[in-house]
Amino acid sequence: MDTHNRGLGYSSKYPFIQFRNSPSLKASHSKSEWQKYLEEENVWGAFGCHPHNAADYNDSVEEALKLALSHPKVRALGEIGLDYSERNKCRKEVQHEVFRRQLKIAYENRQSLIIHCRDANEDCMKILQELLPEDYTFHLHCFTENWKWAQKWLEAFPNVYIGITNLVTYGSAKPTHEVAKSIPLNHLLLETDAPYFLPRKISKKIKWSHPGMAIYVAAQIAALRNITLEEVLDWTYKNTRKMYKI
């Protein structure tokens, strides 16, 4: 079950959760675009203002966000968080403020969270610890840090779920291999982060990934741990249902 993609319109053939970020929040003023996707079977949504778009966050976006979160098939607030990578031009102070504002909304509604944390582990963990109780449930998505950091997250938040993408299928992704081998299976989620992260063995003619490719993540994790594919799928199916209350 793919727990994180950007909604390419794939249907119930591939059960998945469709997560959208801030461009869709703007679209929430004209609801029909995203509501159409959520009418599909086995498709759920999440809304939040991504740290790349933090400068666009304002009171009216916040109102639209609250409205979108009230839809019965929207199951989480996210992805939200901090991104200190070069790709993000938004100032840290602005990211912090927008992250905090959204965390308060999540906590008020006891809403599950999807956290995006890129090159910002310390600050991200500090803010989460400040605003949420340690038993809060969230999905730390597209985890690319090493096992040491995964352990720190598991210690700080015992109900955290860690999402692994098809990055794990690449020989060079050693830190992700370590995490895939060591993470307790009851904390693991599969994600494609579609349309990115194509599995290594896929033909180069294919340019974009899709939710059906979550199976490659599962197969690689099973191979690394020397367990069956079924075991990985059973755990991640259970974890997905728990995390997203589906």
Restricted to residues 104-143, the positions that interact with Zn ion (CB under 5 A) are 116
Number of residues in contact with Zn ion under rule CB under 5 A: 2
**CB 191, min distance to Zn ion, A:** 10
Q: Which is nearer to Zn ion, 81 or 199 (CB)?
A: 81
CB 160 within 8 A of CB 153: yes
> Does the annotation place 134 within a ligand binding site?
no
- Smallest gap, in angstroms, from Cβ of residue 117 to Zn ion? 8
Tally of CB atoms within 10 A around 235: 20
The minimum distance between CB 114 and Zn ion, in angstroms, equals 8
* Residues listed for the chain: 246
Q: How far is the CB of 121 from Zn ion (least distance, A)?
A: 14
State the binding string over 66-95 for Zn ion (x if CB under 5 A, else -).
Answer: -------------x----------------
What's the token pair of residue 208?
Answer: 């974009």
Q: Which is nearer to Zn ion, 53 or 111 (CB)?
A: 53
Q: Distance between CA 221 and CA 28 in Å, rounded?
A: 37
Cα–Cα distance measured from residue 90 to residue 84, given in angstroms and rounded to the nearest whole number:
9
How is residue 176 written in tokens?
A: 């992700």
Among 210, 164, 212, 215, which residue's Cα sits nearest to residue 7?
A: 210
Query: Is residue 19 within a helix (H) or strand (E), and if so which, with residue range?
Result: strand 16-19
Which is nearer to Zn ion, 79 or 145 (by Cβ)? 79
CA distance 46 to 65: 10
Cβ closer to Zn ion: 116 or 210? 116
Residue 119 annotated as part of some ligand binding site:
no
Q: Which is nearer to Zn ion, 35 or 121 (CB)?
A: 121
Q: What is the 3-state secondary structure (H, E, C) of 101-132?
A: HHHHHHHHHCCCEEEEEECCHHHHHHHHHHHC
| Residue placing its CB nearer to Zn ion in the complex, 5 or 236 | 5
Query: Measured from the CB of residue 13, what is the shortest distance to Zn ion in angstroms?
Result: 25
Whether 8 contacts 195, CB under 8 Å: yes
Let me know: does 192 contact 213? Beta carbons within 8 Å.
Answer: yes
Q: Is 79 annotated as a binding residue?
A: yes
Q: Which of residues 25-64 bind Zn ion (CB under 5 A)?
A: none
How near is the Cβ of 227 to Zn ion at its closest, in Å? 28
Q: Is 116 annotated as a binding residue?
A: yes
CA distance 102 to 77: 8
Which class for 110: exposed (0-12), middle (13-18), buried (19 or more C-beta within 10 A)? Answer: exposed
Q: Which residue is nearest to Zn ion (CB)?
A: 116
> What residues line the site for Zn ion (CB under 5 A)?
79, 116
Annotated binding site: 79, 116, 141, 193
Annotated binding site for a divalent metal cation: 79, 116, 141, 193
